Structure 1
Amino acid sequence: MNLDPGTIAIIQLAWSRRLGLADDALAGAADGTRIYSVQDQSPSVSFTRLFGREVFCGPQWAIRRARGKSADELSRRTALAGLSLEYGGRTVSSENLCFADSFPPPVEPEDELAVSEDRGLAVKLERLCPPDDVAEAGLAHREQMFIVVDESTDATVPLAGAGYSIRDGILADIVSLTAPAYRRRGLGRHITSVAVEESMAAGLIPQYRVPLDNVGAARTAAGAGFVAVGIRSEVRLSS
């Protein structure tokens, strides 16, 4: 599955702005180009590869150390932390960047379930999930959210949820979360597809950031029609 050239241009615009570059920096660069953005006051160091273009952002000392290193090296989870060890570099994320520009095929769960936009149910869902999963998704803090619920009992039970926040007025940054007891039933793909449809109806381009070691999230993204077109790693500095 390929993304439309117009979609690609809009994604490049959004990420150029997010990285502090000129609007046409990514779209105007040749394939294989690496842009070094000196940000001496930045509290982080990051490497982004998107549609064949690369951007390394950080203080001058980090840029000197990154020169000559391959994209594969800089994309590894511990690579940037190793470059910034004496500056307290701590890995924040290492993830695939995935996007969609067409409505996903229907993904219906085995049972007929309702969908709620109640933020309280998102909080309740988070209480059913491991803390690391909750922190990674941040579902209850998203601008829009959709929760699959089981209403067959007296108490409504949240099973899975997806939501998004708007980035740069263009992208819908989508996350999903499924309670451990209800995983591997297609609920994550189902509710993520709902979030994709709703964000596209709002005129946004869906984006899904998949941690490199999260096989379940990768399956969810693929099942909801996302295409992996880039990678991003980031570390925070303590000094």
Structure 2
Amino acid sequence: MTFDLNSAPIVLLAWERALALPTDSLLSDTRDGRITHAAETTELTFLRLWNQSILSGPAHLLAAAQEYSDDELSDHSTMLRLTKLEGGRGLGTQALYYADDLELHQPEHTVHVSTGTPEALRLESLCPPDDVNDVGLSGREHKFTVMDSGESDAGPLACSAYAEHQGLLAQLGTLVAPNARRQGLGRLATSIAAHEALAAGLIVQWQSDVNNSAAHALAVGTGFSVAGLLTRISLQTGQTRHK
């Protein structure tokens, strides 16, 4: 794995900003244990990173969650039970992976890589809608698409793209055409995009559903280190008051 824990404060700072936590609340608190952050929001979020856990959301839900362990709150079903009265809608539990250095995976043959948006959009048109929505290539500004090098129509085979997050992280996602899967192209595209992000001075973040074994294998195979879990529940607007 290629993540130095000396880089962990950068990841924690990014999440501190993303969750609108008080300044230095993660960086100065190195104890094991749960941090709770009451916020007027329409989402309940539970984050586990290394030895820390953070629960953020409406105050009455934080109070109701006190009786649950971190393992229980990492379970999507527990969070749904907590938010039943608020009309909670599950946004899933995702595994979080990070890399601050990666081995460069050289392809066996010369490949053509496009950084244009049309090629990424064309790739999305070839893939199942669920895959397209999970990866969200269109919303990531830095795209790297591996193109078919055949003499016929040079179509897209795989694309990995990242979006800058909090000026510190590169949120990475990869999509592979159905007829090009299991050929190492996803790993190749991921490696290319990750190295571009690292060269830009960012730490690379990969997140995927905990049940997505293919995404897990791709992340680990590329060299990412598992760091934690993120569970999110959407609350119906106007129903986050204590009842």
Alpha-carbon distance between aligned partners in 1 of 2:106 and 2:210, rounded to the nearest angstrom: 24
Matches within 5 A, 1:88-237: 88-106=87-105, 108=107, 112-237=110-235
Q: 74-83 vs 113-122, which deviates more? A: 74-83
Name the structure 2 match of 1:35: 35
User: For residue 178 of structure 1, what is the amino acid of its counterpart?
Assistant: V
Q: Does 1:50 align with 2:88?
A: no
CA distance in 1: counterparts of 2:67 and 2:205, whole angstroms? 30
- Take 2:51 and 2:6, find their aligned partners in 1: how far apart are those partners? 16
Which residue number in structure 1 is paired with residue 7 of structure 2? Answer: 7
Alpha-carbon deviation of 1:50? 0.7
Q: Match for 2:36: what amino acid?
A: Y
TM-score normalized by the length of structure 1: 0.94
The one-letter code of the counterpart of 2:210 is: L
Deviation at 1:86, TM superposition (A): 1.9
Cα distance in 1 between the residues matched to 2:151 and 2:2: 43
**Matched position secondary structure for 1:151:** coil
**Amino acid across the alignment from 1:27:** L
Task: Give 2:16's aligned amino acid.
Answer: S
**Contact 1:107-1:186 within 8 A present in 2 as well:** no
Q: Aligned partners of 1:29, 1:2: CA distance in 2, in Å?
A: 25
**Aligned partner letter, 2:79:** L
1:64 and 2:63 correspond:
yes
Runs of 4+ in 1 over 3 A off after TM superposition: none
SS of the residue aligned with 1:152?
coil
Count of residues in Structure 1 that have an aligned counterpart in Structure 2 = 237
Distance of 1:44 and 1:112 partners within structure 2: 46
CA RMSD of aligned residues (A): 1.5
Could you give the per-residue CA deviations for residues 84-114 of structure 1, whole angstroms, max 9, x where no partner exists? 1121111113111110011224152x65431
Distance change in 2, residues 1:76/1:111 (3 Å): farther
Task: Give the stretch that moved more between structures: 227-236 or 65-74.
Answer: 65-74
AA at the equivalent of 2:100? D
Look up the equivalent residue of 1:144 and give its one-letter code.
Answer: H
Question: Whole-Å Cα distance in 2 between the matches of residues 78 and 179 of structure 1?
Answer: 32
Counterpart for residue 24 of structure 2: 24
User: Deviation at 1:3?
Assistant: 2.8
Aligned to 2:85: 86
Give the C-alpha shift of residue 72 in structure 1: 1.4
Listed one character per residue, the Cα deviations across residues 178-204 of structure 1 (whole Å, up to 9, x for unaligned) are 112111111111110101100010111
* TM-score normalised by structure 2 residue count: 0.92
1:107/1:219 CA distance change after superposition, 3 Å? farther
Determine if contact 2:3/2:224 at 8 Å carries over to the other structure. no
2:143 touches 2:160 (CA, 8 Å); kept in 1?
Answer: yes
How much has 1:154 moved relative to structure 2? 3.5
Mapped contact 1:107–1:193 kept (Cα < 8 A): no
